[in-house]
Amino acid sequence: MSQYRTFTAADAVAYAQQFGGVESPDELVDAQEIGDGNLNLVFKIFDIHHRSRVIVKQALPYVRCVGESWPLTLDRARLEAQTLVEHYRHCPQHTVQVLHYDPALAVMVMEDLSDHRIWRGELIKGAYYPQAATQLGEYLAQTLFHTSDFHLHPHNKKALVAQFINPEMCEITEDLFFNDPYQINERNSYPAAIEASVAALRDDSALKVAVASLKHRFFSHAEALLHGDIHSGSIFVADGSLKAIDAEFGYVGPIGFDVGTAIGNLLLNYCGAPGQLGIRDAAAAREQRLTDIRELWQAFATRFARLAATETHDAALAAPGYVEAFLKKVLTDAVGFAGSELIRRSVGLSHVADIDTIADEEMKHACLRHAIELGKALILVAGQVDNADELLIRVRQYS
């Protein structure tokens, strides 16, 4: 039947004809491989009018950017498809639609989002999407609330945990977020000019205790089905629209990890803005990122609390006041995880274009140092941050 084989463009077209759910499938004639990520083949499928119609995505059995020497489970295709399907159930307006998937071929067919753009690129060039931050907060609230203990029957929650056990992808996060930047490791990647800042990470024992606590929460706090990698490069935006993609890191983990990854990537843009834009535009972009973060948190927390008020099925968790107490803990977690995202994207294997594409080397180094210092500060003060405004005060304090 469907034994794994690596797709050619022709395979992708044939697959899209069969499973793309388009009218007149015979009109699908061409495929373009557009995968710029690290892990997968991604084909855009065109019809005879040169219009792209659907996406065919296939997982490769190794890390694409490293090569066959770093094998990686094909089961991540199932995990990604099932995470997206589950998130789409709860938030179809902000989740890419999966039209079909096949675990054995590690392939899925998704809706085409060619009328959207990757948010990271838009943020870097200073293009503003007024509803994006709020929509991202809505996505996080809907998907995380509906897969949490507030909403799910305990039996279903436990089945969800089992379904989304994701050892290999989690291990990447466990290593790249919480280990590599705080030790000498050949996977780390940063300019020699910032060595002093990086060395200081390795020598900061209070920081390492706080990072251990973050990692332990990532390991053990099974709160909701996370996207697991919800950075601005996993988000498509268009006028009034936002769609999450790329959920192969999905697993049941701490809600603050998704929220913190989202906030952390807005802060990475904040740190990189002076290197990407003129002085005035950079200052405006920075203010906008802070506003984005406030809006994201407000949208998330307000929706989560509203859902909790009306859709909490658990009698104990429905206690008046509990969801507010829980959201405080989520913010603490999110601030810490945001800090670890700032650091691992500056020091570790995988960087972000917000800073990496800065042409001026001195400026780039200054931005990297800023991201590291801000990340450190957030990890250390996370327990004292009680609301979004306090978070913004901290960000300004370390800028």
Question: Which tokens hold the place of 21?
Answer: 């759910």
CA-nearest of 179, 195, 187 to 349 is 187
Which of 81, 170, 198, 388 touches a second copy (CB under 8 A)? 170
Round to whole Å and give the CA distance between 398 and 380.
12
Closest contact distance (angstroms) between CB of 162 and a second copy is: 5
Q: 134 vs 332, which CB is nearer to a second copy?
A: 332
For residue 78, say whether it is annotated as part of any ligand binding site: no
Q: Which residue among 27, 75, 174, 356 contacts a second copy (CB under 8 A)?
A: 174
For the record, the structure tokens of 116 come out as 């959207």
**What is the amino acid identity at position 140?**
L
The yes or no reply on residue 314 touching a second copy (CB under 8 A) is: yes
Among the residue ranges 30-38, 164-172, 357-365, 391-399, the one whose residues contact a second copy (CB under 8 A): 164-172
Nearer to a second copy, 98 or 170 (CB): 170
**Identity (one letter) of the amino acid at 87?**
H
What type of residue sits at position 258? D
CA 20 to chain centre: 26
If one asks whether residue 200 binds a second copy (CB under 8 A), the answer comes out as no
Q: Is 280 in the site for a second copy (CB under 8 A)?
A: no
Stretch that binds a second copy, among 9-17, 153-161, 357-365, 377-385 (CB under 8 A): 153-161
CA distance linking residue 131 with residue 98, whole number of Å: 24
For residue 133, the SS3 value is: helix
Side-chain-side CA neighbours of residue 34 (13 Å) = 15
Q: Is 292 annotated to bind ligand? A: no
Quick check: 236 and 129 in contact, CB under 8 A?
A: no
Is 345 a known ligand-binding residue? no
Among 184, 220, 279, 280, binds a second copy (CB under 8 A): 220
Rg (CA), the chain: 21
The answer to the question of residue 221 lying near a second copy (CB under 8 A) is yes
By CB under 8 A, name the one of 64, 100, 117, 208 that touches a second copy: 208
Q: Which stretch binds a second copy (CB under 8 A): 13-21, 59-67, 280-288, 311-319?
A: 311-319
Considering only 154, 191, 240, 278, the residue that binds a second copy (CB under 8 A) is: 154
Contact with a second copy (CB under 8 A): which of 86, 223, 246, 258? 223
If the CB atoms of residues 232 and 312 are measured against a second copy, the closer one turns out to be: 312
Annotated binding residue at 246?
Answer: yes
Distance in angstroms (rounded) separating the CA atoms of residues 22 and 177: 40
Residues 6+ apart with CB under 8 A from 157: 147, 148, 149
Structure tokens at 7: 């797709």
The distance of closest approach from Cβ of residue 108 to a second copy in the complex, given in angstroms and rounded to an integer, is 23
Nearest to 219 by CA among 154, 151, 176, 167: 167
Which position among 48, 65, 165, 393 is part of the footprint of a second copy (CB under 8 A)?
Answer: 165
188 annotated as belonging to a binding site for a ligand: no
User: Which helix H or strand E contains 35, and what residues bound it?
Assistant: none
Binding residue (CB under 8 A) for a second copy from 38, 97, 179, 302? 179
CB of 134 to a second copy, least distance (A): 27
187 binds a second copy (CB under 8 A): no
What single letter denotes the amino acid at residue 225?
Answer: L
Per CB under 8 A, which of residues 316..375 are in contact with a second copy? 316-322, 325-326
Residue 278 backbone dihedrals phi, psi, to 5 degrees: -60, 165
Assigned token pair, 189: 């990647």
Q: Which of 288, 275, 265 lies closest to 367 in space, CA to CA?
A: 275
Q: Which is nearer to a second copy, 98 or 207 (CB)?
A: 207
The DSSP annotation for 124-171 comes to HTT---TTHHHHHHHHHHHHHHHTSTTTS-HHHHHHHHHHT--HHHHH
Q: Which of 51, 125, 187, 216 binds a second copy (CB under 8 A)?
A: 216
Query: CA 64, CA 70: separation in Å to the nearest integer?
Result: 8
Annotated binding site for substrate, which residues?
A: 229, 344
Sites of contact with a second copy (CB under 8 A): 149, 154-155, 157-159, 161-162, 165-167, 170-171, 174, 178-179, 182-183, 205-206, 208-209, 211-213, 215-216, 219-223, 314-322, 325-326
Residues tagged in the binding site annotation: 40, 57, 111-113, 229, 246-248, 344
Which residue ranges make up the annotated binding site for ATP? 40, 57, 111-113, 246-248
